[in-house]
Structure 1
Amino acid sequence: MRSVELIHQRMLIVILVIVMVCLFVVSLFIGSNPLPVIQAARESLLDTPTVIGLIFGEIRLPRALIALFTGATLGLCGAAMQGLLRNPLASPGLIGSSSGAALGAVSMLYFGFGVVMPLAVPLGGVAGALLATFMVYLMAGREGGTLTLILAGVAINALALALISLLLNLAPSPYAVREIVLWMMGSIANHSMTDLWTLLPGVLLGWLMLFGTGRSLDALTLGAETASTMGISLSRLRWRIFLAVALSVGSAVAITGSIGFIGLVVPHLLRPLVGFQPSRLLLTSALGGASLLLAADISTRLFPAGTDIKVGVLTSLVGAPFFLYLIIKSRRYQL
């Protein structure tokens, strides 16, 4: 029976990898001005790239890679948070990492540091995510329960959003307001390879920390007391996941802006396919998150020319009804 489950798990991973690779390749060439596949790849390798080669290497390639790493991060962190809290409605933003990153990045934009130093916005985002997560951890306490943790996350999220609204209200010019609002909508477009290299260290470090938590999350499904008897330190596990989510989500959100619901939708859809086992859900959610964000980014390019739909807006339009469906479904089970 176990061997059959492993075969199904491997088949699922292979399918998700194939889907992700296909979407990645499509995202390199599709758009309002589709690129010739072979010509673009060949000309991007020349010592003096042509216009097509520059579009491929400087615009399409970093855009596709950032979508892949950001989507994978959101899916992976969503699976980890749902496993830690044993709640299928949990998401990476629940502990304040997303809103904290948004506040840090918006603060850099508001005070103009982003113009003076290009790395100011992403570094501000990472710092904001770490600070917000640390505050949630302090408010919840080392031995705080799930409900206390969720309430602390709600409080920090509300505070971060209130401070962002204050910065918007006090913005010195309408141009600053426009820049902040557009950033908060979430977008994969108009990023360079420099942005990718800025995103990668925190994202990869967070991944390494999360992929070692599978066994502990499996034990936690039996209950906190049972997990403790198996040698699992809940406070240490919580701190490790918090730090990993803050680093990886903060690094991603600081570059792309707020992109919601991927961390909620992807693990929920894939959970039945992995036998509701958290350790198996981590990798599959990372692959599924990358595929979903790549698909969403491709979809934004299919709108008529001149229509600039942000990918964060599109994911929210799809994710919000799905979230409402989950709430209604959970209420039916309670009744």
Structure 2
Amino acid sequence: MTRLALLLGALVAALFLGSLTIGPAGVGAGESLRALVAGDAGPLTLVMREIRLPRALLAAIVGASLGLAGAAMQGYLRNPLAEPGLIGVSGAAALGAVIALQTGLAASWALGLPAAALAGALAAVLLVVALAGPRGTSLTLILAGIAISALAAALTSLVLNLSPNPFAASEIVFWMMGSLADRSMSDVWVALPFTALGWALLMTMGRGLDALTLGEDAAGALGIRLGRLQAALVLGTASAVGAATAVAGTIGFVGLVVPHLLRPLVGARPSRLLWASALGGAAMVLAADIAVRLVLPERDLKLGVLTALVGAPLFLHLIYRTRREMG
């Protein structure tokens, strides 16, 4: 496990440096890093500190949040097809952001969009808890999440359908594709407290998730309080994924694919998969954000589009390989 942790940590560090130094300016890596660390307030220093650094930090934060939440969700539900959006947090956060864009709140207040998205995520949590109940099973949690996701998607479509401003509708559609372009340190400071809280809650689930592999009755016999475990899952996922969606839009497949890739490397232990998926998710989003700049730098290829294009075929391959192993 130490070797895997070092490997993933080195990969994240290398991709983070790549995210800082790769861009359309055509400036060398050494010069870029010098401008970041000991800049002279010139144009390059401004680019490094106000554009590239926030973008790299958010890529790592968003990726870690999605990967960690995906691993926790799959471990709790004991379902490798589970992903963070299953409890409706992503859809509700997107709905909040869409309302902020449509009403002009995002234009009148710099933090209006992330604040509205976080409010949507909080509303989703309250509804899921109310529908599933304090002692709800994993099945009721799934059903409540599906209901919230469907409702959020329907309301988002309704807002788009009734939008009188085609420019606002276009902005909404592009935001929902997911991107880290044009983000600032304000977005980092908005997301970081909520994601840190989510990480702290989800990382406490390791022992409980290991016990759940034996079944809910066995986990209860081992002293695991399933209600508390479910609360940590819902609140942690809402805080981490809601904040990630608030600043980056909808970025799919990270929380679904990354735990699949890393599960064989950790001996299929959910507690080990949590930290591994956090690092793996950060690496995946950092790599995807670098690829966005290199593939079509002048066309503003959206990050969520690229992760879907890469993640969907990869996930299909994993399903095919699993079927072969089972057959």
TM bucket (normalised to shorter chain) is over 0.9
Query: Are 1:284 and 2:276 matched, yes or no?
Result: yes
Q: Would you say 1:231 and 2:223 are equivalent positions?
A: yes
Q: Could you tell me how far apart the structure 2 residues matched to 1:270 and 1:305 are?
A: 31
Task: Report the AA paired with residue 287 of structure 1.
Answer: L
**Do structure 1's residue 222 and structure 2's residue 214 form an aligned pair?**
yes
Which residue in the other structure is 2:97 paired with?
105
Q: Are 1:120 and 2:124 counterparts?
A: no
Report the counterpart of residue 145 of structure 1 in structure 2: 137
- CA–CA separation in structure 1 for the residues paired with 2:119 and 2:226: 25
Amino acid at match of 2:168: A
- Aligned-residue offset at 1:328: 5.2
Describe the shift of the 1:82–1:178 C-alpha distance in structure 2 as closer, same or farther (beyond 3 A). Answer: same
Distance 2:90 2:291 in 1: 24
Match for residue 6 of structure 1? none
Distance in 2 between residues matched to 1:262 and 1:269, nearest whole Å:
11
Structure 2, gaps ≥5 residues long: none
**Percent of aligned pairs with the same amino acid:** 54
Q: Which residue of 2 aligns with 1:321?
A: 313
Equivalent positions of 1:1-335 (< 5 A) are 9-45=1-37, 48-327=40-319
Deviates more, 1:120-129 or 1:185-194: 120-129
Measure, in 2, the Cα distance between the counterparts of 1:42 and 1:126: 36
Listed one character per residue, the Cα deviations across residues 12-44 of structure 1 (whole Å, up to 9, x for unaligned) are 000000011001101111123332223223334
Partners in 2 of 1:289 and 1:39 — Cα distance? 29
Distance in 2, matches of 1:148 and 1:304, equals 43
Distance 1:224 1:273 in 2: 25
In the alignment, is the contact (CA less than 8 A) between 2:209 and 2:270 conserved in 1? yes
**Whole-angstrom distance in 2 between the partners of 1:317 and 1:179:** 21
Give me the whole-angstrom Cα distance separating, in 2, the residues matched to 1:282 and 1:130: 23
Q: Alpha-carbon deviations, 1:298-318, whole Å to 9, x = none?
A: 111112442211010000111
8 A contact 2:39–2:45 mirrored in 1 = no
How far apart in 1 are the matches of 2:177 and 2:318?
24
- Whole-angstrom distance in 2 between the partners of 1:34 and 1:154: 46
1:48: how far off? Answer: 4.7
CA RMSD after TM alignment: 1.8
Q: CA deviation at 1:46?
A: 5.5
Deviation at residue 45 of structure 1 after TM alignment: 4.8
Matched positions, count: 327
1:202 & 1:152 partners in 2: Cα distance?
23
Give the TM-score normalised by the residue count of structure 1.
0.93
Alpha-carbon distance change, 310 to 237 in structure 1, aligned in 2, over 3 angstroms: same
